[in-house]
A = this chain, B = another copy of it.
Amino acid sequence: MLNTARRLLLGSPLPSAEEVHQRLTKAQALAVFSSDALSSVAYATEEILLVLIMAGPAALGLSLPIALAIAGLLAVVATSYYQTIHGYPSGGGAYIVAYDNLGVWPGLIAAAALLIDYVLTVAVSITAGVAAVTSAFPVLYPFRLVLCLLAIACITWANLRGVRESGTLFAIPTYGFVLIILVLIAVGLVRLTTGTLGPMPAQGIPATEDVTQALTLFLILRAFASGCTALTGVEAISNGIPAFRTPEAENAGKTLIAMAVLLVTMFVGLTALSHSFGVIPVEHETVVSQISRHVFGAGPFYLALQVATALILVLAANTSFADFPRLSAILARARYLPRQLTNLGDRLVFANGVVALAVLASGLVVIFGGQTHRLIPLYAVGVFLSFTLSQAGMVRHWRKKRGQGWQWKAVVNGLGAAATGVVLLVIVATKFLRGAWMVILLIPGFVWVFHAIKRHYLNVAAQLSLEGLSPEKWAGLASRKRYKVVVPVSGMHQGTLAALRFARSLSKDVTAVVVDVDPQVTDRMQEKWALWGHGVPLVVLESPYRSTIGPLLAYLDAIDQQEPEKELAMVVLPEFVTAQWWQDLLHGQTARLIKRALIYRRGQTGKDRVIVDVPYHLRQ
C-alpha cells in the first residue's frame, strides 16, 4: 500500500542506465545556471534601501553609487571566474578548487560555507518569491509563511521525482523575467527623460522602526554589504561546465559574460529607477513591485512581472536542490558526511540530500518568519567565503601549473580573491550582530562534524578490516554442540510451537524461558508444557518489576557464566506477524523490544549472541 502511494507520488523507479546528461546550448545554459544570480535583482536593491532608510529618506540617494560599486565588484568576480572556467573545464566548484589547491581544511571550510549557502539560497529565494506574489495580492500577505512552506514542498516533490535540468522549461521564466525587467527599465528611463513620469507619491510608513540614525560610513558599508547579495549565484556556471556543448569551456565563458552583463544592467537599472522615483521600502510591497506599478500601472505587464519574479526565484531555489545533494554526496563519498547521502534513490536522485535540504530550509523560513530581509545578514557570508577560497585556490593552481601567461592569470584571480576577501570582512563587520555570527559559528561547527564523521568511518574500517587475519583460522567451524539455544516464550500457541520445533532442529541444548509477569499466564503455560514441550525444559524467570527484558538479559548473562564451554547463545524468538499493518498496534511490541535489547546490549562476558526470528504469519 505504501509502495503504491509512493509510485503515484514519485513515479516508477528508473533504471541506472537512464542516467544520461543532456548537453545545453549557450542560451539554454544561461537559463539553467543563471536563475540564482539574475533573480537576486528582485531583492538586492531593496536590501540596500532598507539599510539607507535608517538615516532618513535623503540617504536613499546613495543607493546608485553603492550599486555601481557592486557592479564593479561583479566585473572583477566574473573575470576571475572566467579564468576558473578555463582552469577547471571539468567543473570547478569552490570545494574542489580549494581542496585541490589549498588542502583539506580550506576545502572543508569551503564545503561548509557552500552547504550553508545552498540552504540560505532556498530560504531567501522562496521568501522573496512569495513577497513578489503577496505584493500583487496583498490579501495573501498573512499567509506568506504557509505559502513559503508550500513552495518548498512542491520543489522538494519535483526533485524527489527527479526534474531534469531542462533548458527549454527553464528558459521561459528566466528570459521572461529578464525581458520584462529590461522593458521596465527602458520604459521607465524614457518616460523619466521625456518627463511623462514623476516621482512616486508617498507610500506610507517605511519598513523600519528607526529612521533617525546618522549616515555613518558603517551604515554605508552595511548597505553595500546587503547589496552584495546581488552576486550570489555567479559561480554556478563554473560548476556546470560539463553540461555545455563542446567546446565546453569556451561556451561557458561566453555564457558567464552574458550573464554578468545582464545582471549589471538589470541591477543598476532598477536601482537608478528606484532612486529617480524616490521609492521608499515598505513592508507589504517589494521595491520592484512599486517601480513596476508606477511605470506600467496595475495592468497585465505589472502582473506578468510579479509572476515571472516568483517563477525565477523558484528556479533559483531549485538550483540549490540540485547542488546541495550533489555536494553532500561528494562529501559523503569522501566520508565527511553520513554515507546515506550517497544513495542514488530509485528515481536517480540523491533523495536523502533533497529531503535534508527541504527540512533545513523550511526550518530557516519558519525561524525567520518568512521575511527575506531578516535572512539577508546570514546570506552573503558563505557566498563570499567560498568566492575567496575558490579564487585563492586558483592562484595556487596557476602557480603550480605555470602554463602560458600564468602570472597574468594568477594576478587576475588574486585580485578577485583580494576583492571578495575584503568584501567578506566588510560583510562580517557590518552584519555580525544582525545574524552573521550564526554563520561564523556554524562553519567551524560543520568542519568539526565533517572531521568527526571521517574519523568514525576510518575507525570502523580499521575495526572491520581483514588486514592481518588469516583465512585459515576462519575456515574452522564451531561445533553445534557448543551452541546454547534459548527460546523466550510468552504463551502456548502455534507460533511458539513453530519456534520450538525450529530451535530443537538446531541443537540438543534448548531451553525455553518464560518471564513471570502474570502468574496466571505462567501457570497455564506450565500446564500446557507437559503436553507440548517435547522434552525442552521450561525455566520460569522471576520479574518483581514486571519487566520482560531485564530478567531475560540477566538469565543470558548467568548462563554465559555457568556454562563457559558454550561458545554462543542463540536466542530463538517466535514472532507473529499480523495480516494488516494497523493490527500491529494491537499487539505488544515485546518481541521487537527483546530483539533491540539483544542486539544493542552485549553480554557481560562478551560472548557472541545470535538472534533468530521465527515469524508466524496470521492469515487475517
One complex includes copies of this chain to the number of 2
Asked if A217 is an interface residue, CB under 8 A from chain B, the answer is no
Q: Contact: B463 with A619, CB < 8 Å? A: yes
- Chain B min CB distance to A555 (Å): 18
Which residue in chain B gives the minimum CB-CB distance to A589?
B340
Q: Contact: A340 with B471, CB < 8 Å? A: no
Asked if A612 is an interface residue, CB under 8 A from chain B, the answer is yes
**Cross-chain contact of A617 among B577, B602, B611, B617 (Cβ < 8 A):** B602
Which of A285-293, A406-414, A488-496 touches B?
Answer: A488-496
**Cross-chain contact of A464 among B493, B501, B547 (Cβ < 8 A):** B493
Q: Contact: A546 with B463, CB < 8 Å? A: no
Interface string of A202-220 (1 = CB under 8 A from B): 0000000000000000000
Residues of chain B with a CB closer than 8 A to A598's CB: 615
Which of A12-20, A156-164, A237-245, A396-404 touches B?
Answer: A12-20
Q: Contact: B338 with A610, CB < 8 Å? A: no
**A: interface residue count bin:** 35 or more
- Chain B min CB distance to A493 (Å): 4
| Distance between Cα atoms of A569 and B516 in the complex (Å) | 33
Q: Contact: A463 with B618, CB < 8 Å? A: yes
Interface string of A580-620 (1 = CB under 8 A from B): 00010111100000010011101000001111111111111
Residues of chain B with a CB closer than 8 A to A595's CB: 613
Q: Contact: A339 with B588, CB < 8 Å? A: yes
Q: Contact: A545 with B466, CB < 8 Å? A: no
Q: Contact: B338 with A576, CB < 8 Å? A: no
**Cross-chain contact of A459 among B344, B545, B587, B620 (Cβ < 8 A):** B620
Residues of chain B with a CB closer than 8 A to A480's CB: 505-506
Q: Contact: A534 with B465, CB < 8 Å? A: no
Asked if A460 is an interface residue, CB under 8 A from chain B, the answer is yes
Residues of chain B with a CB closer than 8 A to A617's CB: 602
Q: Contact: A545 with B346, CB < 8 Å? A: yes
- Chain B min CB distance to A618 (Å): 5
Given A466-B493, A466-B528, A494-B466, decide whether A599 and B613 contact each other with a Cβ distance below 8 A.
yes
15 contacts between A and B (CB under 8 A): A13-B546, A13-B547, A15-B544, A339-B588, A344-B546, A457-B586, A464-B616, A465-B494, A471-B531, A471-B534, A478-B501, A502-B568, A577-B602, A595-B613, A610-B612
What are the 7 tightest A-B residue pairs by CB atom distance, in nearest-first order?
Answer: A464-B493, A13-B545, A15-B544, A611-B613, A477-B505, A338-B586, A346-B545
- Known pairs A13-B547, A339-B586 / 4 extra A-B pairs, C-beta < 8 Å: A459-B618, A460-B578, A463-B620, A474-B534
